[in-house]
Structure 1
Amino acid sequence: MILSFGPAGTAAWALGLPTLVALLGYLAAALVGTEREAAVRGTLMTGWIAHALAIAIDIGGIGAPITGARFGFAPALSATMWLVLAVYAVESRFLPLAGVRRTLALLGAAAVLLAFLFPGELRPHALSRWAPLHWVLGIASYGLFGAAVLHAAMLNRAEQQMRHHEAAAPSGMPLLRLERLTFRFVGAGFIVLSAALLFGAWFAQPWRWDHKTVFSMLGWVVFAALLAGRRAFGWRGPLATRWLYGGAALLLLAYVGSRFVLEILLQRPPTL
């Protein structure tokens, strides 16, 4: 048995309280009406801070019987969702982002609960001193591409509404601004993903062409083609967002998908 269902002992007490606070904060943010803006921001920020604490306790293995870092598909999803919510929290103070708050809050609640139920495998030692940097860069790229997908979804909805001659886009932002933000996140995510892959190749001895590596490289190729196509041919609209969704899906399969299959379906010890 590689993975227990939920943390046990001291770890459960350490992780349970911030998980509960994060769940309640996100659910409250999803349910509070838009007319109560201060309450929405307060509950969302409470959930976000508690979520950060839960991630630190879970990944850091605080309260576990041995010292080490714990990671898996659910903590990876949780950290990614936390980063996407961080982007939303910052942007929503300067730009109108109506119509996504409830969805993001519910996704945040789901990610927190999933990480509590499936906390991952505790690893006492990293394969290399560079391994933590590789993991951090990988999760950062997940978060940046997650933010790009969020903006692409708003962009698609806005374009559909304009085609149907509706007065206002759901985001409340001009399409060109949404498009620029989307590709800024794609560009930043591509740079961070490239660095993560380079560090991964550096410390991996020997190099393995496993599912994670193959899907990561395929995702990198898709994002490289998207950025090249936009620069050379001016790709935009549904064509560009389809490439973005495809690359994001490949990256999701690369780590989260492969770890889910190994940890939950096959009950086999995964490699990082």
Structure 2
Amino acid sequence: MILASASAASMVMALSTAAAYAVPAVGARHLSNAASRLTLIVAWLLHASVLAWGLMGETPRFGFAPALSVTAWLVLTVYAIEREMFPQLEARWAVASLGAAAVILAMVFPGSELHSASPWLPLHWALGISSYGLIAAAVIHAWLMTRAERSIRAAADPRAGLPLLTLERLTFRFAMAGFVLLSATLAAGIFFSETIYGPGHGMKWDHKAVFSVLAWLVFATLLVGRWKFGWRGRRAVRWLYIGSILLLLGYAGSRFVLEVILGRTSS
């Protein structure tokens, strides 16, 4: 297990953050809106400090679990902003549970020591993880959209939660934004790999690249299908889920195999 490589300070910070997330995740139905909002803000700030410590602390580290942790933090950031615009949006327990799980996972698997071969590498990572975050936000909205559709079929109160069409519009906006950043990430990796990773590190068609390109093709098909043929509902959600799984396998999945199964600290 890689837990032994995590410092005591990072473990304390991670456990505190997970506990803060657990309050709205477990007791969402028993907390007032103000209390739930306050606990999420505290958890968000603690999570940001955990990420900053992991990237700029005593021994900067990064890997599949920290990447997922950053993604979860970005999702919560998007949710917090969106909640101000759409007070009917109710996904606190979902994003809080996601945040707690991501922080614990990153504590158990903090990754390998971070070595930047180029000043452009952090930017490349930021683009990639931002695309993860936006597409993860699209997945959560797609889940909310599916749940809203089921509620309508069950003749539930139509005033509860965001309208179905609003959720659908938000889902595709996040998917489009994530696709744009994913395109930029892939283009940078393909055409400027030696600038990003250093001389002698050209573009390699490994499993990470293959899964990422497959995800890009799926998202491109989804967006073209939406624009050209009006795809919506279950078909659109299915394509979004497939693309998201492929993207997850691209970096997080390949790093999981390297770090956990094969026990290697670098690819």
TM-score, normalised via structure 1 length: 0.90
Alignment of 1:132-147 (within 5 A): 132-147=122-137
Specify the code of the residue in structure 2 equivalent to 1:71: F
Aligned partners of 1:245 and 1:169: how far apart in 2? 27
Alignment of 1:56-205 (within 5 A): 56-60=52-56, 62-64=57-59, 69-95=60-86, 96-98=88-90, 100-124=91-115, 126-168=116-158, 172-201=161-190, 202-204=192-194, 205=201
Which of 26, 47, 72 is the equivalent residue of 2:21? 26
* Offset of residue 36 of structure 1: 1.3
| 5+ long unaligned stretches in structure 1 | none
Does the residue aligned with 1:268 lie in a helix, a strand or coil? coil
Is 1:242 matched up with 2:238?
yes
The percentage of aligned residue pairs carrying the same residue is 50
| Superposed CA offset, 1:132-176 (max 9, x none) | 111000000000000000000011111122122222376x11111
Which deviates more from structure 2 when the two are superposed, residues 41-50 or residues 103-112? 103-112
* Offset of residue 7 of structure 1: 3.5
Aligned partners of 1:151 and 1:120: how far apart in 2? 29
* Offset of residue 94 of structure 1: 2.3
Specify the code of the residue in structure 2 equivalent to 1:153: W
Q: Is the CA contact 1:162–1:169 (under 8 Å) kept in the aligned structure 2?
A: no
Report what 1:5 is aligned to.
Answer: 3
Q: Is the CA contact 1:6–1:12 (under 8 Å) kept in the aligned structure 2?
A: no
Aligned partners of 1:207 and 1:260: how far apart in 2? 21
Report what 2:46 is aligned to.
Answer: 50
Aligned partners of 2:20 and 2:114: how far apart in 1? 31
| Superposed CA offset, 1:98-148 (max 9, x none) | 2x2112211211111111111110133x23332111100000000000000
TM-score, normalised via structure 2 length: 0.91
Q: Is the CA contact 1:21–1:46 (under 8 Å) kept in the aligned structure 2?
A: no
Aligned partners of 2:137 and 2:237: how far apart in 1? 13
Aligned partners of 1:147 and 1:232: how far apart in 2? 24
| Superposed CA offset, 1:210-260 (max 9, x none) | 111000000000001111111110111100010000000000000111111
| 5+ long unaligned stretches in structure 2 | 195-200
Q: Is the CA contact 2:208–2:251 (under 8 Å) kept in the aligned structure 1?
A: yes
* Offset of residue 42 of structure 1: 0.9
- The structure where helix makes up a greater share of residues is 2
Q: Is the CA contact 1:131–1:200 (under 8 Å) kept in the aligned structure 2?
A: no
| Superposed CA offset, 1:13-53 (max 9, x none) | 2x234323311211112233355111111111101100011
